[in-house]
Structure 1
Amino acid sequence: MHVRCYSIVLLLLSLLLTGTARVESADKPAFVPTSYQLYYGSEPRLLKQLRDRIRPGQVIVIELRGLQPDQVADLVNFAHQKQAKVIAYLSIGELGQLEKANFEKYLKRSPNGYPLSEIVFGKNQTFESWYVDVSYGEWRGFLMERIKQMYAQKIDGLFLDTVDTADLYFNRKEWSIPRRAKSVAAMIGLIRDIKRFDPEKFIMQNRGLNLIGKTAIVGDKSQIVVLALDLAHQHPGNPDGLLWESAFAHSGDWIESKEREMIRIQKNGFTTVFTLGYSDTSVSEDTFFRKSKADGFIPGWASSTTKLHLELTQQPPGK
C-alpha cells in the first residue's frame, strides 16, 4: 500500500514538472531565422569579418575542424549576445578523407564486422570523399558519437550536408528496388534521428530535394512508395531549415515543381527555406537575389561550391 501511494506521488510530481517545463518552453520566444552566413575556413581575418556581420536571427554555419575550442566559444558567445545561432557542418551521406581513419577504427569495434568497402559504394571525385549507404547501423552509430563530441562545444545545431547521396540510391541499378527503398528510408530516418537527439538544436538540411515532399517513389515499373519528410507539415523530427544549394541554376519540370514545393514549405512556416547561389553557375547574382526575395527564401551568395572554405557568403545588396 505504501509503495503504491509513493508511486502515485511520484507520478503526480512528474506530471507537475512536465507541465511546468512546457509552460517555460512555450514562454520562450521561438527563433525566427532572418539571414545566414556560411564559412568553412579558419582564417582569422575572415572569422573576424564573420563575427562582425552577425545580426539578430542569423544562422551561422561553420566547420569545426580547423577551429580551436576558444575560437568556437567566442563565436558562439557573441552570436548568443546577438540572438543568433551557430551551427556546425556535418556530412551524413559521404565519408570524407579526414573522417575515414576514425570510421575504420569504429568499424573494428563493431560486432558485425562489416568492412568499409561494403558500406561505401562510390567516390565523389570533386571532394575526394566516398558515398555511404546510410542504412548501415555502424554509420549511424558513428555519426551519433561525432554529434555528441560536436555538441560538447556548445554549438546551437548542425548543418547536414550530402543528404543528396540519397539521390544515388533511387537509381542504383546494382541494388534491388527494396534495397534502394530501404536506403532512402534510412536517410529520412537519419535526419529525424539527429533532430530528435536534441530537439532544442537547430538542424538545417542541405539539398536532398527528393525527400522534402510527402512521399518518395523508388523504381520505375516496379515501385515502392516511401513516406518522406513532408516539410510542408509539422513533424517533431523534421529539420528546422532547408538549404537549396545552386538555387535557380537549372530549369525543367522537376526543379520547377520542387521550387513550388519549397514555396509552400516556406509559407507554412515549419521549415525555413534558405538559398545559396554561385557565380560559376548559369544564374546571375541579380536574378538569384530577385527570385529568392520573390519566393520568400533567405539567400546567400558565393563564387563556387569549392571555395566555401576560402570566402564568406554574401548577403543581398544593402544588407
Structure 2
Amino acid sequence: MKIFSCLYFSILFNLALATSAPLVSAEEKVFVPTSFQLYYGSDPKIMSQLQEQLKKGQVVVIDLRGLNQNQITTLIDHAHQVGAKVIAYISVGELESLEKTNFKQFLKQHKKPTLLEKISIGKNEIFQSCHIDVNNSMWHKYLFKKIDQIYDQKVDGLFLDTIDTVDVYINQQEWPVSRRAKSVKAMIDLVRKFKESSPDKFIMQNRGLNLIGKSVFVGEETGILVPGLYLSKSHPHNPDGLLWESAYTHTGDWIDGKEREMIQIQKNGFTSVFTLGYTDTKADRRQFFQKSQAAGFIPAWGSSTKTLHKELTQGITTK
C-alpha cells in the first residue's frame, strides 16, 4: 500500500511539473518594454554606442536604408542577446522625395504610371515629402513589398511613421465628409493590417493621436463617427506601442483629452505608450520626464526632429 501511494504521488508530481513548465516558459517570452531609443543615422561610432547601451526591454528604432549589412546584423544579434527589440522605420502616410523614384518604378511595373498624381494630396514642406491617400490598394502593395524587404533583415517589427497624415484627411475641405471618413477608416485598417500580417512582430505607431480613441469624428458642425483603434481596449491587431512625439509641447482641450486617453491606454496595458521630447520645442525637459514617469510612459529626449540622424536620443537616466 505504501509503495502504491508513493508511486501515485510521484506520478501526480511529475504531471504537475509537465503542466506548469510551458506556462513558465511562455511568461519568460513575454516582452515588456522598459526603455526607448531612436537613431536614423549610420555613423559607425554612434552605432557602436547604440549597441553598447542596449538593455533588456529596450525598443530601438532604426532606419535600415543608411546601414550596411554588417551594422544591421551586429546590432540585431546583440539586441537579441540582451533581450531588446530592434524595429525599422517605414513611412506610411507620406512619400519621401528619396522614395519617389522607387514608387514610380513600382507603378510602371504594374502599369499604373500616373497613380501618384491621383493619391498625392499635398506636401509636407518641412520634410519635402508628399501626403498620400492610403485608401488605395497599390499603395498597400508597395508598402508590403517594402516590409517584406525589411523583415528579410530579421528585425523585430516596424515603426509606423506619418500616421498623422490622417489629420490631412479629416481637414480636407475639398472632399465630402463621407470621402474623408473613408480614408480615415483606410488608415485604421492599414495600421491593423501590419500587425495582422505578422502577429509576432512589435508594431509601434508614431503620432496619429486622432485615431487612438473609441471613435474619430470627421466633419464640421455635423459629421461621421468612424470607429477608432480604441487602444485602451484589447484588440489582436492593434499596435504594441504608441509614440507621442513632441510630447507636452502644446496645450488645449484637445491635447489634454488625448493625454488622459494615453494615460488610460498605458494603465490598461494593451498598448505601451512612449514619449519623445525635443529641446527646440516649448517642452521643458525636466517637466517632460517628470510627467512621463508619473503617467507610466516610456520617455526619450532629443535635440530636434532634424537631428535624429546625427545623434542618439537620451533616456531618463541621462543627465
TM-score (norm. length: structure 2): 0.90
Partners of 2:23 and 2:151 lie apart in 1 by 25
Partners of 1:101 and 1:160 lie apart in 2 by 21
Counterpart residue type for residue 35 of structure 1 = S
2:230 equivalent to 1:262: no
Residue of structure 2 in register with 1:292 after alignment = 292
Partners of 1:284 and 1:291 lie apart in 2 by 10
State which structure, 1 or 2, has the greater radius of gyration over its C-alpha atoms: 2
Q: How many residues align?
A: 298
- Cα 1:27–1:304 change in 2 (3 A) is closer
Residue of structure 1 in register with 2:13 after alignment = none
The structural deviation recorded for 1:310 is: 0.6
The structural deviation recorded for 1:305 is: 0.6
2:30 equivalent to 1:30: yes
Please list, as runs of the form range in 1=range in 2, the aligned pairs for 1:184-223 lying within 5 A after superposition.
184-223=184-223
Residue of structure 2 in register with 1:224 after alignment = 224
The structural deviation recorded for 1:109 is: 2.9
Residue of structure 2 in register with 1:249 after alignment = 249
The structural deviation recorded for 1:115 is: 2.4
The structural deviation recorded for 1:246 is: 0.5
Give a deviation string over 1:17-72, Cα, whole Å, max 9, x none: xxxxx989945521000001000000001101111111100001000001011110
Residue of structure 2 in register with 1:52 after alignment = 52
Residue of structure 1 in register with 2:271 after alignment = 271
Please list, as runs of the form range in 1=range in 2, the aligned pairs for 1:85-164 lying within 5 A after superposition.
85-110=85-110, 114-164=114-164
SS at match of 1:65: helix
- Cα 1:100–1:227 change in 2 (3 A) is same
Partners of 1:221 and 1:213 lie apart in 2 by 20
Partners of 2:318 and 2:48 lie apart in 1 by 20
Residue of structure 1 in register with 2:304 after alignment = 304
Name segments (4+ residues, structure 1) moved above 2 Å: 22-29, 109-115
Partners of 2:160 and 2:318 lie apart in 1 by 29
Partners of 2:180 and 2:24 lie apart in 1 by 43
Partners of 1:68 and 1:104 lie apart in 2 by 25
- Cα 1:318–1:95 change in 2 (3 A) is closer
Partners of 2:27 and 2:256 lie apart in 1 by 39
Q: Gapped runs of 5+ residues in structure 1?
A: 1-21
- Cα 1:104–1:314 change in 2 (3 A) is same
Does structure 1 conserve the Cα–Cα contact (< 8 Å) formed by 2:170 and 2:180?
yes
- Cα 1:25–1:107 change in 2 (3 A) is farther
- Cα 1:245–1:202 change in 2 (3 A) is same
Give a deviation string over 1:252-309, Cα, whole Å, max 9, x none: 1100000000000000000000000000111111111111111110000000011100
2:71 equivalent to 1:74: no
Partners of 2:287 and 2:176 lie apart in 1 by 42
Does structure 1 conserve the Cα–Cα contact (< 8 Å) formed by 2:104 and 2:113?
no
Counterpart residue type for residue 95 of structure 1 = L
Give a deviation string over 1:52-98, Cα, whole Å, max 9, x none: 11110000100000101111010000000000000000000000112
In percent, how many aligned pairs have the same letter?
56
Please list, as runs of the form range in 1=range in 2, the aligned pairs for 1:232-243 lying within 5 A after superposition.
232-243=232-243
The structural deviation recorded for 1:318 is: 5.3
Counterpart residue type for residue 230 of structure 1 = Y
Residue of structure 1 in register with 2:282 after alignment = 282
Q: Gapped runs of 5+ residues in structure 2?
A: 1-21
- Cα 1:310–1:242 change in 2 (3 A) is same
TM-score (norm. length: structure 1): 0.90
Partners of 1:193 and 1:26 lie apart in 2 by 25
